[in-house]
Amino acid sequence: MSAPVEHLVFDSSAELVATAAARFIATVTAAQDARGVATVALTGGSNGIALLRELARHPRALDWSRIELYWGDERFVPAEDPERNSLQAREALLDHVPVEAARVHVAAPSDGEFGDDIDAAAADYARRLGSGTVFDIHLLGMGGEGHVNSLFPHSAATAEDSRPVVAVTDSPKAPPRRITLTFPVINA
């Protein structure tokens, strides 16, 4: 049985971010109390990164040793490219809280161990995600054309119904190459 859908409207981004941070802390804490560890998929975007900055202002509000962090999508560019969601998250949050590196699960960059082989990098991310992973929190922003993660309307990636991770090579928004979690994972 799923929880009822709640629609909230905010007068400002700051109000949205403050509410999201409070709910993030409460949800992670409840998951840790129930199962020992919380599993979270982070996002990029202006509000997503603002949320991470807000969480960094309260580093002791969470037990970071019991959080597994993933990303809903990642841009397949070099590791230090400012477009990478994981780099933005590191600068906004991860460099400011005591999270163990082994609990931070990042998709390989284009200059990483798989080089420019985006399919191998996506397969590796799927392997590290594991089968049956269900997120306690999966943060999703929405782009102007309606994309979530790197699932753009009418793209082949939106039709994926079994694989948890796919490579996107033709994103209509730069950069064109990305690795994304799919709707089966989001819907779980």
Complete domains list, the chain, with CATH: 13-187 (3.40.50.1360)
Pairing, β 38-42 against β 73-75: unpaired
What pLDDT is attached to residue 2?
A: 65
d(Cα 131, Cα 71) in Å, to the nearest integer? 16
**Which residues of the chain fall below pLDDT 70?**
1-2
According to DSSP, the residues that pair with 178 across neighbouring strands are 75, 168
Q: In what side-by-side order are the strands of the sheet with 73-75?
A: 73-75, 178-181, 165-168
